[in-house]
Each structure stands twice: as C-alpha cells, then as structure tokens.
Structure 1
C-alpha cells in the first residue's frame, strides 16, 4: 500500500482526523469513563504516533505528482517562517501552559500565565502551523500538499477545538485564561488584556529556537534531500 498517493491520503486523514475524532466529546468522554484518563491519554498517544509514522513513511515513498510549480521566490517563505516556528516550538515545549497535557491545574493560577503565553496561549500549535505553511509555499506536489496540509489543518483548527474542550472540561476556571491570553499572537497585548512578558520568555529560549533552526537548516539536504537556501 505504501508508495501510493492513496497511502498518503489515508495517513493524512488518520493523523489530522484522528486527533479531532478522539478528542470529540462523545468519543473521549465514553473512553475516559471506560478506561480512565491516564489510559486514554496513553492510547491516544499510541494511535496518533502510529498515524504519524504511517504518514511519514507514505510521504517518503509517494510518487511525485505535480499540482503546481513553485517559483524560486517562494523559497524565501519557509526561510522566514521556520525560524519563527522553531522559537515558538521551543517556547511552547519549555513553558508550563494550561493548554498543554495536564495543564488544567494552571487554571486556578492565572498569575502564572507568563512568558510566551502573553503572546499566544497556543505557541506549540502556532509553531507547527507556521512550519507547515512555510513548506506548503515551496512544495507543489500532491504528497507534500497532503502532508503539510494535514499538519496545517490540525494546527490551526486545533486551537479553537482545544479551547472548546478545555472550556467544557473546567467550566468557569477557563474565564481568566481566555481573558488574559489570546489565540492570535499579540492580540491580548494589543487589547490591553495582558502585558508582554519578554523576560518570562527568556533569551535562552530564543537562542535555543534559533539553534534548532540552524541545525535543521544545515541537515536539511540529508533528511529531506534538498537544500533550503533560496536561489
């Protein structure tokens, strides 16, 4: 089955659609009631890991089917977006957040919503979203569109879906989080609902994010087969 576009379609649907299906209230609530929260999280992670592995392997072996031909200028787009994505990914992973797994305890501590959370309460998803958009801009084949499109849909549609799940789960405790943070970067700062906390982000997170980008950039020909530099 691998080595076909159909395999990539199956992987993309399983990875993106599986996240939304397993997180939906009817399925999630019944599963948690039946096997418990921790076992559900473990099963959820295992299923999604399997879907991701399938998607990557299917993408690797997929035939090249051109949908559109990117211009040389579009190569600048990932070179602008991916460094930002790496910083957001590092900041999202290293910052305790109410939107991360097990982060509900922060709902009772709104004063802990600092650092990158003053820019957006979904830094990790913005990171994956920008990464996928950057690669969509410079890859016009069908397999790439399916792979990066699935990640983009999961990232950007996942933000309101995750907010809705948390709002339903913690009820009124979600209010302070929604009031002092925003999905759209810098919106809460612009509206005066919070203050930008650059010190809380820390120079080390910015530096580590840039370092991750440099390493990925330098190794790109080895794991992706192409040099990402424009021109």
Structure 2
C-alpha cells in the first residue's frame, strides 16, 4: 500500500496547500508566477493521481478485509453518489442556486462520494483511500467556507433553469459512469 499512500500524500497534499498554508501559497504564486505555479500544481496532481490508481490496483490484490458492508448498503451508496455528482456538477454550471446555498459544492460532493464509498467498501485499501478523501474534503469545505465568511463572499442567486441543468447534468453523468464506465474502469458494476 506504499504506492497508494505516496499517491494520496502527493495528490491530497498539493490540494491541501490552501487549507494549511494559504499565505505561503499566495507568496509562491507571486514569486514564481501564475503559469509556473499552475504547472507544478498540475504536474504534482497528475503524478499523485496516477500513483493512487496504480497503488490502489496493487493494494486491492492483497488487501485485508476490515469489515463486511451490510446488505443493502450498495443502494445507499448509489443514492449518495448521485447526490455527489449533482453537487460536483453545481461547481461547474454557472448561475445555479445549489452553489449559492452550498458555497463549495465540489468539496461537499467529494465528501459525500467518499462517505458513500467508505460505507460500501470494507477492505483496508478502500478504507484508506475513501477515508483520506473524506477527511480532505471536509477540511477543504470548512476551510473554504471560513475564507468566504472572513472575506464576506457571496455567490450569485442563480435561476431555476440553471438548477435543472445542474441536476439533470449531474444525474446523466452519474448514470453513464455507474452503468457503463465504473465496471470497465474500476472492475465492479454497482448498478448491475
């Protein structure tokens, strides 16, 4: 599981800089420039993500079972992941009211996604992966909401039409991923 841990440290570490060292982040961006900062951030994220995938695949072959999920938990996980996909869509669809209410729907969606998967997976590698993402997402959400409160940030009111686009778009991507991509990419078909 060492490769998985290194991947999580790189990926979540770089995504945690704003949570734990925002002034340093601002100073480094000013010092080296926006482009180089984004390049290093992206490169570190890609390497970390690749290591997470590779390490999870390796750890999956030899992982100990910590708990066996109860019957029916799969259905709850499917529902939670649908909500997560809607929240993640809300981060990208401009002018929706979900973003106004939640503030940081990407972090909230990631937390719900991770929590749902944590409920449905009891192997050591899955617990490590999803617990790490859950802790990071909750910390990211709380940190971002705090920054918003300090800065007095508010989000546009949004419209019902954009809410519909957000919900339908999130559910379409959720269904496509759940029915057609999760099995080939992850090795498990949650909808089948």
Alpha-carbon deviation of 1:163? Answer: 4.1
Which is richer in helix? 2
Q: In structure 2, what is the equivalent of residue 129 of structure 1?
A: 111
Equivalence map 1:41-190=2 (5 Å): 41-62=38-59, 63-95=62-94, 115-164=97-146, 174-177=151-154
The structure with more radius of gyration: 1
CA distance in 1, matches of 2:188, 2:72: 16
Give CA-to-partner distance per residue, 1:165-215, whole Å, 9 cap, x none.
Answer: 567xxx7xx2152xxx6xxxxxxxxxxxx98x5515332221111111111
Task: Structure 2: give runs of 5+ residues left out of the alignment.
Answer: none
How many corresponding residue pairs?
188
1:26 is displaced (CA, Å) by: 5.1
Determine the structure 1 residue equivalent to 2:173: 212
Offset from partner CA, 1:97-149 (integer Å, 9 cap, x none): xxxxxxxxxxxxxxxxx522232101111111111111110101111111112
Considering only aligned residues, what root-mean-square deviation do their CA atoms show, in Å? 2.5
Cα 1:176–1:132, aligned 2, differ >3 Å: closer, same or farther?
closer
In 2, distance between residues paired with 1:164 and 1:200? 29
C-alpha spacing 1:26/1:61, structure 2 compared with 1 (3 Å)? same
CA contact (8 A) 2:111 2:134 kept: yes
**TM-score, normalised relative to structure 1:** 0.71
Are the counterparts in 2 of residues 16 and 153 from structure 1 also a CA contact under 8 Å? no
| Alignment match, 1:104 | none
